[in-house]
Each structure stands twice: as structure tokens, then as C-alpha cells.
């Protein structure tokens, strides 16, 4: 028999912090212990193999079969020393999370025994049965073959007893079936587009990197309470639950002392992360109770994104050891903040220049302004697409709610950069852009005050904010794979930089010096963006929605409709010209997105319906019966006077009847709506129908929440918000 809610809560309260795994030595001693990084390559590969592999990683050179065999042999030796028995190609299909299929090293040795084998072929390519991963119809199920192919730019790592090889995942006919493939293409596109511009400023530049620093927000709940909530278990969020009397209104959780059970968990995930070479830097409490954040030092985007996926896996598994479950859902609890994954993004050169930070001299500043303005132009042109790139059924609960990202993509510049851009429009094109002292003197020059460099003003309501040396794309969801947003952003910027360079070249051919050609090209762009995508005001207000609409920014709030942005002519041009997605891939991915959207809402609809019928209504009726018995007893004891004395009980009895009737009707009409939606063939139309159903779940839960308010606490079958959110 299942335990009573009260017992479950008591047990959860009594839990102590679990013991922390403490490795020997300093953190730097075990950092990267479980990744096949350059140190391991040096140690386990001969010089020729090492050089060939490094050339492949750094310069994209082809890796021949003999080298691959050499690399595999070295990896095997290293892996066996760590007790590894299996290998897997580790990839990122279009689902939540990563996928892996483990094969052991084991092989017959031909002499009646067994040996461990691992060769270049097994390292470089595998053919998993791919038919069960979402493909949007690219690969009919009878053509089950898909390939995983090694991505040598992200290091191989060990997870428990398994050697994990980061790979791309593509169909038999070459279409991407994952997040990594298009991301890598977009990263190449942005390098190709930015490099020629950077070389005009510094001919020594050979490569432009895109950088990502993610800030992962998450909730922790006690695993016993989690197990008592079917909605959390099956959908990742609470589909019902009355607000706790106290939640985040005192602002006492943000940056507060970390509870000991949570601190122990954080230490363990950090140690695991360090061993995987993930440079975790920041941990703190977030705004909502039981909400936390983890962030590493930023790194190259593809690598950093892999590390985010690895960390999510690590967090999921280590949480269990501490009696917790991690919630990555964007909105696990109604009425308090949800979770995002701010993507701090920038571009930088292999010579160490950050292209979105002010430079050392006037030309360095011109380069900075060039990239700064072109990024904004790209965001303006593709604001609809950027929003679509972060839109999901789960993130929809954050979008447009009063927190981080409004459902409109605009950019926050801050006072300094707004002033710089405005000044640039006034002065002659050959005016140098200077870094001034702490306050910035006014000499008619264009000046970036020194203090700005490490102290940008903040605007928490902007989905895309400039923060001194990078932009922070805040609209990304906490459960998302960052690649979706990063592919779109890098591609959009690449397209803009190509167009910009063309215009600069034209101006220089006409005889203009470089700085004037740049400024003359930048000025009309600045004019076109300054009053459109640039917005420093409060993004949460209704006025902004109206204003944004007037400015021509996309204000769509319906998630299935947002996905349409991926197949407009503008988007198809962008992605096909850069070779990031083919038209077929774009269409297929939208099919997957609509299908996923539909399924997520469908599951939520089923869960809330069944919980209403099997948990909530029985509990409400049981309490009603108890009240009726009370009324009956009153009558026995007090005779005629009973009705005045049993007024409270009778009121609740009536109220329960009303609410239970409403609830039953709401469930029935939701089930009817689902039946109708389920027979729609077209994935887009079906997702639209499910969007309506998603909207109807809110009033339904409100009825349940009203019942929670009046039903006997002892008889309520589910852990409540105050219990889920305040036990650690
Ligand atoms: P916040 O104050 O917004 O929480 P932090 O200073 O903690 O920001 O940094 C958030 C993330 O931004 C970290 O991962 C950090 O490494 C990253 N970051 C810092 N500079 C850059 C940059 N130039 N490009 C990309 N990410 C960066
Ligand atoms: Mg931040």
C-alpha cells in the first residue's frame, strides 16, 4: 500500500545531506581526468598520430584510416586503465537529452578466448538503428539506417564504465538528424564570414570562434515527494497545486545560503564535471525556492554545448544519490519563476581578441562596433526566427509570462552603447572611437568610457542583452539543447557579416579608406536598427507589445505558429545559402517540432485528466462524505438546531459539489477536444488544435487548486507546493 502523503513528507524532512565524494588532491589535479584531451593524446599516441589528430581538430584536416586506428588504440589503452568495458557513440537526436548505444570491447580472439578490441572504424562511424528517433519523415521506418560519425573537435570522455565518443547523427541520405550537425555548419559559416573582416584589422588572424557560456537553472525536489506526484514524473512539471502561502515574495532565496543537502549535491556534480574537463565556475540559489543555477567559464560553442549536455546527464544521475530529482522543465511550478538557460554568446579570434568587447585603440574599437552593429542587424532581421529557435511546448510557459523573456525578441544595449551609436550617426565617418577615462569626457569624439568595460548596466527583462563583452540570449529554455538557438544566431550573424563585407569592399573599391568605408557602411545600418530592435525599456509591459508590433517585430505568442518562421523565404535563403540546413531539413524539423509539441500537450492532457478523476475527485468526495456524516451526527445530537450549527460543513459540501461538477465537465470537454485533434492528419493543424488544449489546462487546474484550498489537509492525496518547494 502506498504511504500517506503525511508520512512521505515527514520522511523527506528527516533526510540528511549525503556524504560527498572527495577526490585526493586539488581540483586542478583531477580536472580533465576522464577526457581524452591533449595531455592524454601526447601520452597515448605516437608523434605522427598525435600531429595528424591535432591537425584534424585545429584545421579540419582529413583523418585517414591508419591514423584513426592509431587514435583508437591509444584511447583503448587509456580507457582500459580506467576499467572501461564499453564504448558508445554519444549523440544529440531531436529529443530531449542525449542518446547512446553501448557495445562492449569484447571480441573472440580466435584461440578460444576473449580480447578487448577497438579500432579506427568503430571510432569513426557507427550505424545505429535510427528508426525510432524523430526525423520528420526524412527517413521512413523501413530505411532504418542512420549514421553516427565522430566529431574529433569535442573530446572523447569516460562515463562510468563507458568510453563516450561525441558524434554527429545523419540519415542514410545525408540529412542531419541531430542538433550537432547544423551547429557545426553554422559555426563554420560564422568563421568564414567573420574571418575576412578580422583580417582587415589584423592579418595574423586565422580563425574566428563562436563562444558560449551557459547558465543552467534548475529546481531540486525530494525524490520521495516527486514519486508521489504523477504529473512531475510524467511531464516534468506540476499540472496542479495551490500556491504556497510563502513562495518567493520575500526575495530571501536568491543568492541565499545554500542548504546543506543541496550543497552536498552541488559539490558532487562539480567534482564529476571537473573530471570531465568542464570548467564549472559559478553556483548559487536562484529567485524561486528550491531553484539553483550552475555556470561554467565560457568556451568554444560546440564544446561548451556538449559539456552542457554532459552536465545535465551528470546532474540527473547524481541527484538520485542525494535523494533529489532535478527538474530542468522551464516552468515546474505555477506562480513562481521558471528556469532558463542564458546563452552568453560572443565571437573571438585565435589571436585572443574578443570581437564584442571594446578594443585597445581606435581601430580596435571600430572592429568592435562593426561586430556589435552587425549582430544587432542580424537579430533584427531574424527576430522571428530567433524566437522560434527557443520556442517549445515547455518554454511556452515562460515566454510572455512576467519573467526573463517576453515573446518578442529585442536587444538591450545599455546607456553607453546607445550613446555611442547615436554619436556615431552625428560625427564625420573618420572620427576615431576612443576609450575615455572613467567618466568619459565630452570632446566631440566618440568615446566609450573605461568604466563601461567591466560595469554594464543591467536589464533583466530583455531577451537579448549586451553585457559588456558578449550578448546574453536569455530566452533559451532550461531543458533545451543550446544548439537550436546557437545555430540560428551564428547563421544569422554570418549572413549579415557577408552582406556587410560586400558593401565595404564596394566602398573601398570606389577609393574610400578602410575606416571611412566601414563607418559609411555602418551608419545606415545603425539608423535602421536603433529604433526597431534596440529597446532598453521594460519588456514586460503591454505598451511594449503594442510598440513592438508597430516597429515590425514579431509578436506571435502561439508556439506552433512560431515554427513557421523556419520555412519563410527569408529563413530558407539564410540557411540554404550558408549550407546550414537544406529546405528538406527545415521542413522535416518543423514536422518534428509540431509532433513533439502535440505529444507533450497530449501527455499533459492525459495526466491531468486522470489525476482529476482518480486522485482529486475521490479525495474531494471522501471529504464531502465525512462532512455529511458530521451533519448527520449534528442532527442526531442537536435535533432542530442542527442546521445553524452545521452551516460551515453544509457550505463546504455545496462548494465541493459545484467544483467537482465543474471539474468533471472541464475534463470531459478536454477529452472531447483531444479526440477531435487526434484525427487531424496534418502535423501543423494538429499542433494548432493542441495549442487550444494547452490553453484549456489552466482553467482546469484552477478548479483543482480551489478544491485543494478547502479539502481536509490529511485527505489531500498529493504533496503540496509548500512541501515540494521547501524541503531540502
Ligand atoms: P551573470 O552575472 O549574468 O550571472 P557571469 O559573469 O556569471 O554572468 O557569466 C555568465 C556566463 O557568461 C559565464 O559562463 C561566463 O563564462 C560567460 N561569459 C563571460 N564572458 C563571455 C564571453 N565573452 N563570451 C561568452 N560567454 C562569456
Ligand atoms: Mg548572466
Residue 611: all three cell numbers together: 489525476
pLDDT per residue over 174-231, tens digit each?
899 999 999 999 999 999 999 999 999 999 999 999 999 999 999 999 999 999 999 9
**Cβ atoms 172, 145 nearer than 8 A:** yes
The per-residue pLDDT for 139 is 60
Same domain? For 135 and 54 the reply is yes
User: How would residue 274 be classed by pLDDT, with cut points 50, 70 and 90?
Assistant: very high
User: How would residue 437 be classed by pLDDT, with cut points 50, 70 and 90?
Assistant: low
Q: Is 2 a domain residue? A: no
- What does DSSP assign to residue 259? P
The answer, yes or no, to whether residue 499 has pLDDT greater than 80, is: yes
Average pLDDT of the segment spanning 577-605: 96
pLDDT per residue over 654-682, tens digit each?
999 999 999 999 999 999 999 999 999 99
Final residue belonging to a domain, choices 581, 604, 632: 581
Final residue belonging to a domain, choices 554, 581, 608: 581
Nearest ligand 1 atom, CA 356: 23
Computed over every residue of the chain, the mean pLDDT equals 92
Residue 180: all three cell numbers together: 550537432
Same domain? For 571 and 680 the reply is no
Q: Is 443 helix (H, G, I), strand (E, B) or coil?
A: coil
Tell how far the Cα of 651 is from the centroid of ligand 1, in angstroms: 56
Q: What is the 3-state secondary structure (H, E, C) of 672-710?
A: HHHHHHHCCCCHHHHHHHHHHHHHHHHHHHHHHHHHHHH
Q: What is the CATH number of the domain that holds 696?
A: 1.20.120.1560
Same domain? For 427 and 380 the reply is yes
Nearest ligand 1 atom, CA 467: 3
For the chain, how big is the Rg over CA atoms in Å? 29
Neighbours of ion ligand 2 (CB under 5 A): 342
Cα–Cα distance measured from residue 154 to residue 291, given in angstroms and rounded to the nearest whole number = 30
The per-residue pLDDT for 1 is 46
pLDDT per residue over 616-656, tens digit each?
999 999 999 999 999 999 999 998 888 888 899 999 999 99
Cα–Cα distance measured from residue 316 to residue 269, given in angstroms and rounded to the nearest whole number = 10
User: How would residue 143 be classed by pLDDT, with cut points 50, 70 and 90?
Assistant: low
- The ligand whose atoms approach the alpha carbon of 304 most closely is 1
- The ligand whose atoms approach the alpha carbon of 340 most closely is 2
Tell how far the Cα of 597 is from the centroid of ligand 1, in angstroms: 31
Cα dihedral 679→682→688→691 (10° resolution): 60
Nearest ligand 1 atom, CA 297: 16
The answer, yes or no, to whether residue 458 has pLDDT greater than 90, is: no
Mutate to test the pocket of ligand 1, among 209, 283, 298 (most ligand atoms within 8 A of CB): 298
Same domain? For 613 and 491 the reply is no
Nearest ligand 1 atom, CA 295: 14
Contacts of 571 (CB under 8 A, 6+ apart): 382, 385, 565, 586
Cα–Cα distance measured from residue 448 to residue 419, given in angstroms and rounded to the nearest whole number = 9
Same domain? For 79 and 194 the reply is no
**Which H helix or E strand runs over 327?**
strand 324-327
Q: Is the dihedral of CA 401, 407, 408, 411 positive or negative?
A: positive
Tell how far the Cα of 315 is from the centroid of ligand 2, in angstroms: 20
Between 523 and 125, the higher pLDDT residue:
523
- The ligand whose atoms approach the alpha carbon of 301 most closely is 1
Nearest ligand 1 atom, CA 346: 24
Cα–Cα distance measured from residue 364 to residue 384, given in angstroms and rounded to the nearest whole number = 32
Same domain? For 537 and 621 the reply is no
Same domain? For 571 and 612 the reply is no
The per-residue pLDDT for 174 is 87
Same domain? For 523 and 626 the reply is no
Q: What is the CATH number of the domain that holds 386?
A: 3.30.590.10
Q: Is 9 a domain residue? A: no
Residue nearest to atom 19 of ligand 1 (CA): 298
Cα–Cα distance measured from residue 126 to residue 128, given in angstroms and rounded to the nearest whole number = 6
The answer, yes or no, to whether residue 716 has pLDDT greater than 80, is: yes
Q: Give me the count of residues in the chain.
A: 728
Q: Is 23 a domain residue? A: no
Average pLDDT of the segment spanning 246-265: 79
Residue 17: all three cell numbers together: 545531506
Tell how far the Cα of 402 is from the centroid of ligand 1, in angstroms: 23
Same domain? For 165 and 242 the reply is no
Same domain? For 397 and 436 the reply is yes
Tell how far the Cα of 346 is from the centroid of ligand 1, in angstroms: 10
Residue nearest to atom 2 of ligand 1 (CA): 467
Tell how far the Cα of 219 is from the centroid of ligand 2, in angstroms: 18
- The ligand whose atoms approach the alpha carbon of 295 most closely is 1
Q: What is the CATH number of the domain that holds 162?
A: 3.10.20.70
Residue 459: all three cell numbers together: 536589464
Long-range contact pairs involving 442-447 (C-beta distance under 8 Å, separation at least 24)? 446/420, 447/420, 447/423
The answer, yes or no, to whether residue 613 has pLDDT greater than 70, is: yes
Cα–Cα distance measured from residue 414 to residue 426, given in angstroms and rounded to the nearest whole number = 19
Average pLDDT of the segment spanning 236-261: 83
Tell how far the Cα of 381 is from the centroid of ligand 2, in angstroms: 24
Q: Is 590 a domain residue? A: no
Mutate to test the pocket of ligand 1, among 213, 217, 340, 368 (most ligand atoms within 8 A of CB): 213
**Cβ atoms 504, 193 nearer than 8 A:** no
Tell how far the Cα of 384 is from the centroid of ligand 2, in angstroms: 23
Residue nearest to atom 25 of ligand 1 (CA): 345
Tell how far the Cα of 454 is from the centroid of ligand 2, in angstroms: 14
Tell how far the Cα of 472 is from the centroid of ligand 2, in angstroms: 7
Q: Is 15 a domain residue? A: no
Mutate to test the pocket of ligand 1, among 344, 372, 476 (most ligand atoms within 8 A of CB): 344
The answer, yes or no, to whether residue 22 has pLDDT greater than 90, is: no
* Residue environment code for 187-198, b if the CB has 16+ CB neighbours within 10 A, otherwise e: bbbbbebbbebb
Dmax over Cα atoms in the chain, in whole Å? Answer: 106
- The ligand whose atoms approach the alpha carbon of 470 most closely is 1
Residue nearest to atom 24 of ligand 1 (CA): 346
- The ligand whose atoms approach the alpha carbon of 353 most closely is 1
How many Cβ atoms from other residues are within 10 Å of residue 547's Cβ? 16
Tell how far the Cα of 91 is from the centroid of ligand 1, in angstroms: 26
Residue 445: all three cell numbers together: 569624439
- The ligand whose atoms approach the alpha carbon of 213 most closely is 1
Q: Is 621 a domain residue? A: yes
Cα–Cα distance measured from residue 508 to residue 502, given in angstroms and rounded to the nearest whole number = 10
Residue nearest to atom 4 of ligand 1 (CA): 215
Final residue belonging to a domain, choices 581, 615, 634: 581
The per-residue pLDDT for 288 is 84
The answer, yes or no, to whether residue 257 has pLDDT greater than 80, is: no
Same domain? For 100 and 221 the reply is no
- In 3D, which of 539, 501, 543, 547 has the Cα closest to residue 522? 501
The answer, yes or no, to whether residue 440 has pLDDT greater than 60, is: no
pLDDT per residue over 413-428, tens digit each?
998 899 999 999 999 9
Nearest ligand 1 atom, CA 348: 23
Nearest ligand 1 atom, CA 354: 23
Tell how far the Cα of 452 is from the centroid of ligand 1, in angstroms: 16
Nearest ligand 1 atom, CA 293: 4
The per-residue pLDDT for 266 is 95
What total of structural domains would you count in the chain? 3
Q: How far apart are the first and last CA of the chain?
A: 26
- What does DSSP assign to residue 639? G
How many Cβ atoms from other residues are within 10 Å of residue 353's Cβ? 19
Q: Is 43 a domain residue? A: yes
Which residues line the pocket of ligand 1, CB cutoff 6 A?
211, 213, 215, 282, 295-298, 344-346, 354, 469-470
Tell how far the Cα of 456 is from the centroid of ligand 1, in angstroms: 13
Q: Is 4 a domain residue? A: no
The answer, yes or no, to whether residue 724 has pLDDT greater than 70, is: yes
Same domain? For 257 and 216 the reply is yes
Structural domain including 173 reads 31-178
Average pLDDT of the segment spanning 110-118: 91
Amino acid at each position: 500500500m502506498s504511504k500517506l502523503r503525511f508520512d512521505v513528507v515527514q520522511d523527506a524532512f528527516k533526510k540528511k545531506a549525503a556524504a560527498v565524494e572527495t577526490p585526493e588532491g586539488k581540483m586542478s589535479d583531477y580536472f580533465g581526468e576522464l577526457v581524452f584531451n591533449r595531455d592524454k593524446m601526447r601520452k597515448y599516441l605516437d608523434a605522427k598520430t598525435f600531429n595528424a589528430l591535432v591537425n584534424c581538430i585545429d584545421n579540419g584536416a582529413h583523418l585517414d584510416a591508419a591514423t584513426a586506428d592509431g587514435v583508437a588504440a591509444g584511447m583503448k589503452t587509456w580507457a582500459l586503465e580506467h576499467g572501461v568495458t564499453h564504448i558508445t557513440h554519444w549523440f544529440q537526436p531531436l529529443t530531449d537529452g542525449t542518446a547512446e548505444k553501448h557495445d562492449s570491447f569484447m571480441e573472440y580472439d580466435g584461440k578460444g578466448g576473449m580480447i578487448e578490441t577497438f579500432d579506427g572504424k568503430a571510432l569513426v562511424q557507427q550505424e545505429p538503428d535510427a528508426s525510432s528517433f524523430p526525423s520528420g519523415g526524412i527517413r521512413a521506418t523501413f530505411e532504418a539506417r542512420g549514421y553516427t560519425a565522430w566529431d574529433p573537435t569535442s573530446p572523447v570522455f569516460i562515463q562510468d564504465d563507458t568510453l563516450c565518443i561525441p558524434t554527429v547523427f545523419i540519415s542514410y541520405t545525408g540529412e542531419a538528424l541531430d542538433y550537432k550537425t547544423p551547429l557545426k555548419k553554422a559555426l563554420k559559416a560564422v568563421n568564414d564570414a567573420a574571418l575576412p573582416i578580422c583580417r582587415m584589422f589584423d592579418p595574423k588572424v586565422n580563425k574566428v570562434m563562436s563562444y558560449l557560456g551557459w547558465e543552467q537553472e534548475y529546481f531540486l525536489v525530494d525524490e520521495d515527494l516527486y514519486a508521489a506526484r504523477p504529473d512531475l514524473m510524467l511531464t516534468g512539471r506540476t499540472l496542479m497545486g495551490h500556491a504556497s502561502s510563502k513562495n518567493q515574495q520575500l526575495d530571501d532565496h536568491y543568492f541565499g545560503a545554500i542548504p546543506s543537502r543541496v550543497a552536498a549535491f552541488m559539490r558532487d556534480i562539480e567534482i564529476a564535471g571537473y573530471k570531465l574537463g568542464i570548467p564549472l565556475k559559478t553556483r548559487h540559489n536562484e529567485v524561486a525556492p528550491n531553484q539553483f543555477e550552475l555556470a561554467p567559464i565560457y568556451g568554444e560553442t560546440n564544446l561548451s554545448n556538449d559539456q552542457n549536455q554532459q552536465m545535465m546527464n551528470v546532474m540527473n544521475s547524481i541527484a538520485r544519490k542525494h535523494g533529489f530529482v532535478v527538474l530542468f522543465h522551464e516552468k515546474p511550478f505555477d506562480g513562481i519563476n521558471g528556469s532558463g538557460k542564458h546563452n552568453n554568446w560572443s565571437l573571438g579570434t585565435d589571436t585572443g581578441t574578443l570581437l564584442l568587447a571594446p578594443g585597445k585603440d581606435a581601430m580596435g574599437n571600430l572592429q568592435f562596433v562593426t561586430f556589435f552593429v552587425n549582430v544587432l542587424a542580424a537579430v533584427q532581421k531574424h527576430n522571428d526566427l530567433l524566437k522560434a529557435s527557443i520556442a517549445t511546448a515547455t518554454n511556452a510557459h515562460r515566454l510572455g509570462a512576467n519573467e526573463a523573456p517576453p515573446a518578442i525578441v529585442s536587444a538591450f544595449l545599455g546607456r553607453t552603447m546607445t550613446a555611442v551609436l547615436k554619436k556615431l550617426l552625428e560625427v564625420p565617418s573618420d572620427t576615431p572611437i576612443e576609450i575615455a577615462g572613467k567618466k568619459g569626457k565630452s570632446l566631440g569624439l566618440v568615446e566609450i568610457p573605461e568604466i563601461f568595460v567591466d560595469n554594464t548596466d543591467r536589464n533583466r527583462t530583455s531577451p537579448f542583452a549586451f553585457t559588456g563583452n558578449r550578448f546574453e540570449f536569455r530566452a533559451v529554455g532550461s531543458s533545451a539543447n543550446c544548439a537550436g538557438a546557437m545555430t540560428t544566431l551564428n547563421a544569422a550573424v554570418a549572413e549579415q557579416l557577408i552582406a556587410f563585407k560586400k558593401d565595404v569592399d564596394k566602398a573601398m573599391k570606389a577609393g574610400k579608406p578602410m575606416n571611412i568605408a566601414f563607418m559609411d557602411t555602418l551608419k545606415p545600418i545603425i539608423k535602421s536598427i536603433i529604433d526597431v530592435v534596440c529597446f532598453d525599456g521594460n519588456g514586460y509591459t503591454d505598451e511594449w507589445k503594442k510598440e513592438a508590433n508597430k516597429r515590425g517585430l514579431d509578436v506571435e505568442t502561439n508556439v506552433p505558429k512560431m515554427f513557421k518562421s523556419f520555412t519563410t523565404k527569408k529563413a530558407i535563403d539564410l540557411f540554404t545559402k550558408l549550407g546550414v540546413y537544406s529546405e528538406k531539413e527545415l521542413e522535416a524539423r518543423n514536422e518534428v517540432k509540431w509532433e513533439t509539441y502535440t505529444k507533450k500537450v497530449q501527455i499533459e492532457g492525459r495526466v491531468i485528466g486522470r489525476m482529476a478523476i482518480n486522485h482529486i475527485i475521490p479525495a474531494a468526495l471522501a471529504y464531502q462524505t465525512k462532512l455529511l456524516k458530521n451533519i448527520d451526527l449534528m442532527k442526531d445530537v442537536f435535533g432542530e438546531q442542527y442546521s445553524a450549527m452545521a452551516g460551515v460543513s453544509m457550505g463546504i459540501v455545496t462548494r465541493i459539489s459545484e467544483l467537482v461538477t465543474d471539474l468533471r465537465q472541464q475534463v470531459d470537454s478536454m477529452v472531447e477536444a483531444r479526440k477531435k485533434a487526434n484525427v487531424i492528419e496534418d502535423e501543423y493543424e494538429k499542433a494548432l488544435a493542441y495549442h487550444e488544449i494547452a490553453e484549456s489546462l489552466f482553467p482546469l487546474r484552477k478548479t483543482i487548486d480551489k478544491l485543494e484550498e478547502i479539502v481536509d489537509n490529511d485527505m489531500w492525496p498529493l504533496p503540496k507546493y509548500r512541501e515540494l518547494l521547501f524541503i531540502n
